[in-house]
Structure 1
Amino acid sequence: MQATGLIAVWLHVPPHREEEFHAWYELEHIPQVVGLEGFVSGRRYYCDQVFPKFLALYETRDESVEESPGFQHVVTHPTPWSGRIWTFFGKDRIRQNLVRLASVSHGRHPDPGAVLLRAFRAPRDLTAADGLEQGRASADMPGCTRYRLFRQVRDPGHYLEIFDFATPTHAAGPAPAAFFEQPARRRFDDGAGDVVRHVYAATGTPLVKDETVRGAGSPG
């Protein structure tokens, strides 16, 4: 199934709750969500330097899946374990529903060991051509395996770029910093507001529909 939608979820739990939080994600929540109709994969990441610390990315068939009966049932009828975990993060959660504008892979792309996320408000409507241009340019960064550009469904002026990298070292190294200083990239960024850019390392066991894929992250 081709995935043109994305549900991104940022969460934060107190350090003393993290062990159970990871167990819940691994043993219950990721399998439950990815098993729903319209979901393609689920992958988890973390960044110690930001709040919320944890990130989950769910690829979906399209942007309508968030409103599907199956997903809404999970949201409104939590399991006993989910209900307990939800008390750990409370309001420390952000969820975005996004639609993909462009995707460029650089050869065979294994499950990423890290992602560089850049969220921003654009001064104009971006197109697939804009994303394809940036995706092709990202091939020059060592370790960059894929680029995707998404637009928020409920706030169309806001966008999310995701750069997949083989390892956290590649994502946090000098090449990405140099990429964002290139003239063509600076033209793309001109006028952007509310810019947030962070590197998240992979964690846990990525789950792809009908197959389990081991990633480069820790087993957290």
Structure 2
Amino acid sequence: MIMQATGLIAVWLHVPPHREEEFHAWYELEHIPQVVGLDGFVSGRRYYCDDAFPKFLALYETRDESVEDSPGFQHVVTHPTPWSGRIWTFFGKDRIRQNLARLASVAHGGHPDPGAVLLRAFRAPRPLAEADGLEQGRASAEIPGCTGYRLFRQVRDPGRYLEIFDFAAPEQAAEPALAAFFDRPARRRFDDGARDVVRHVYAATGTPLVKGRGVRGAGSPG
């Protein structure tokens, strides 16, 4: 049985182009299996966006938001393997990690591993609740190719939120397909007053790892 995930650890990283080959190999061969193998972790998936900084993104689904502070994960953070220690020197301070709690999740149809995700991070003018996420999630079914929607709240900064729209392929997350959704009156009301808005589309890379299902697909490491 696959564990239900209500938490998310999102990690953004950037490495110089000449370091990317080893960076991808480290993620594929060591880091994703190491982290997803920890108690409380459900899955690990990687993405990239050439137009964003940092360029690379890893999304780890967790049992709940308490997993980030668990002894297993903290040991990985404070006791890197030799290879991890080497890779960490490549990105230095070019790393962001956020621990998030899920407020709502809506799936459309099947549950394939997303070929792309649209991430929208923002500070809301008011506290958001499950009902807000469910409304946006149901409406996202109108976006061609959208396979799911999730709304998360940052644990350490509760005024900040993260929306994730899943797509089967990167081209389905192109701006023309999104314009009608974001121009809906209900959506404009949801966005009204939002600050510090950052929105990027990330394409999948690497091979996703889901606990209980093993490695799926034949994703390339780069």
Give the TM-score taking structure 2 as reference length: 0.97
Partner of 1:63: 65
- Verify: 1:96 aligned to 2:98, yes or no: yes
Alignment of 1:101-180 (within 5 A): 101-180=103-182
Give the aligned CA root-mean-square deviation in angstroms: 0.9
Per the alignment, in what secondary structure is the counterpart of residue 13 of structure 1? coil
Partner of 1:4: 6
Amino acid at match of 1:39: F
**Cα distance, 1:199 vs structure 2:** 0.1
Amino acid at match of 1:122: A
Amino acid at match of 1:82: S
- Verify: 1:214 aligned to 2:217, yes or no: yes
- CA offsets, 1:19-61, max 9 Å, x none? 0000000000000000000000000000001100000000000
- Verify: 1:42 aligned to 2:55, yes or no: no
Alignment of 1:77-96 (within 5 A): 77-96=79-98
Per the alignment, in what secondary structure is the counterpart of residue 71 of structure 1? helix
**Cα distance, 1:172 vs structure 2:** 1.4
**Cα distance, 1:206 vs structure 2:** 0.3
In 1, Cα distance between the equivalents of 2:188 and 2:106?
Answer: 20
In 2, Cα distance between the equivalents of 1:118 and 1:142?
Answer: 18
Amino acid at match of 1:46: Y
Decide which of 21, 24, 29 is 1:27's aligned counterpart: 29
In 2, Cα distance between the equivalents of 1:33 and 1:176?
Answer: 33
**Cα distance, 1:175 vs structure 2:** 1.6
In 2, Cα distance between the equivalents of 1:2 and 1:115?
Answer: 20
Q: Is the 8 A contact 2:25 2:221 kept in 1?
A: no
Size of the aligned set, in residue pairs, is: 219
In 2, Cα distance between the equivalents of 1:111 and 1:97?
Answer: 21
Q: Is the 8 A contact 2:105 2:150 kept in 1?
A: yes
Structure 1: tracts of 5 or more residues without a match: none
**Cα distance, 1:218 vs structure 2:** 4.5
**Cα distance, 1:219 vs structure 2:** 3.5
**Cα distance, 1:166 vs structure 2:** 0.5
Give the TM-score taking structure 1 as reference length: 0.98
Q: Is the 8 A contact 1:202 1:218 kept in 2?
A: no
**Cα distance, 1:213 vs structure 2:** 1.5
**Cα distance, 1:182 vs structure 2:** 1.0
In 1, Cα distance between the equivalents of 2:78 and 2:11?
Answer: 16
